[in-house]
Amino acid sequence: MVSSGLCLRLLRLLPMNSVGVLPKRFSRHRIMPPEFRKKYFPMVTGAEIDAFQRGPFGDPSLRRHEEAVSTPSPRVEAPRAFRAVYQELLPHNLDPRYRDRLRERLERREMMLRRRHLKIPEFYVGSVLAVTISDQSAPNQTHRFVGICIERFNEGLWSNFTLRNVVERTAVEINYELYNPTILSIEVLLLEKRLDKNLLFLRDAPLSESRYPFDLAPVPHEKGAPVPVNDKKVKLLPRPWHFQWQLHGYRGIDPDSLYGQLTPEELRAIEKKVDYVDRYDLMKMYRSRVNAAEQNEVLGEVALQHTELIRHIDLLKRQRQKTEP
C-alpha cells in the first residue's frame, strides 16, 4: 500500500505546469489520447507551416525563389484519369474536426514512395484480381489468391480491399491492405464496375456468383477505353440473411428475390426509414464529397509526385538494361 505521505512527496517533486495524476491500474477512468475520445484537433495548421517556411528559420532556397519570382506559379492541373488511379489519395473523412492536412500530405508522399516498389493498377468494386503476398509458411514462400473485389474501404495508408472466391464449396474472403509491404504483386484479370459501392450482398447469394477459377486468363482492356459496367442482378437466397439489404437501396440485387420475401410490415418500415429529403439535401451532398478546388489541389500535388515516380521507373529500367548481358 502506498501511504498518503509518499503521494504528497511525489506531487511536490512534479513541476508546476505538469499534471499530477497517479496511474490507476484498476480504474475505468483511464487517461486516453484525444484520438480515442474523438476530440482530435490539429495543433499545426497549413497556414502556420507556410509562415514558418517563409520565416528566418525556414528553407532559404524557398525564400530566394519567392523573392526572385514575384508572380505566383500556376497550379498543376492533373488529368482526369488520376482520380481513378489514385482514388485512395483523396480525403474521404471531410469533417474538419478530425482532419489534419499535414498528416494527409505526409501520407500521400509516403504512398507515392511505396508505389515505387509495388505497381498498383486501376481496379474497382466488381473487378477480378490476383494478389500475391509473401508467406513464410507457404511452400514457395508466396501465396496467390484470385477473387472478385467486393469492397474498397478507408483512405490513405489504411486503404484496404476485400477479395471473395469459393474454395472447395466454401466461400473465402481475404482482406488486404493496399500499401502492405508484404504484397508482391496485384494483377487485374477482369476490369469492370458494378452498380453498387460494395458487393457484400454476395454473402447471401448462391456460391456460383462468387466462383472464379484460379487459372483465369487476364482479359485485355484497351488503354484509354471506358471501364465497362456490369449491370447484373444477383438473386438472393431464402431468408434469414446476414443483413437487412432492403434498407440500403442496392441496385445489383434482383428485386423479386429481395422484396418478394418481405412481409407487409417490413415493406412499410422501408418507407419510414428511407428519407427522401436526403436526395435533395445540397449541403449534405457538399459535405460528403471532395469539392473541385480541393480535389484539383490534391491531384496537382500528386501529379508532381507522379512524374518523379515515372522517372524512377525509367531509371530502374536503364539500370537493368546495363546489367543484362
Residue-wise pLDDT for 19-68, tens only, equals 444 444 444 445 555 544 555 555 666 677 777 767 766 555 555 555 54
Decide if 106 is inside a domain: no
pLDDT at position 323 over 90: no
CB under 8 Å to 108, separation ≥6 — which residues? 89, 156, 298, 301, 302, 305
Decide if 123 is inside a domain: yes
Decide if 257 is inside a domain: no
Q: State how far the Cα of 46 lies from the Cα of 42, in Å rounded to an integer.
A: 10
Decide if 153 is inside a domain: yes
At 48 the three-state DSSP class reads helix
Decide if 196 is inside a domain: yes
Decide if 171 is inside a domain: yes
Decide if 163 is inside a domain: yes
Higher local confidence (pLDDT), 79 or 192: 192
Structure letter (DSSP) for residue 77:
P
Task: Count structural domains, the chain.
Answer: 1
Beta carbons of 82 and 299 less than 8 angstroms apart: yes
Higher local confidence (pLDDT), 150 or 153: 150
Decide if 178 is inside a domain: yes
Burial class of 65 by CB neighbour count within 10 A (0 to 12, 13 to 18, 19+): exposed
- What local confidence, expressed as pLDDT, does residue 44 receive? 62
pLDDT tens string 158-212: 899 999 999 999 999 999 999 999 999 999 999 999 999 999 999 999 999 999 9
pLDDT tens string 230-246: 999 999 999 999 999 98
Q: For the chain, what is the mean pLDDT?
A: 80
Lowest mean pLDDT among 70-79, 146-155, 177-186, 216-225: 70-79
Its domain, for residue 128, covers: 118-231
| Domain at 133, CATH number | 2.30.30.790
pTM attached to this predicted model: 0.71
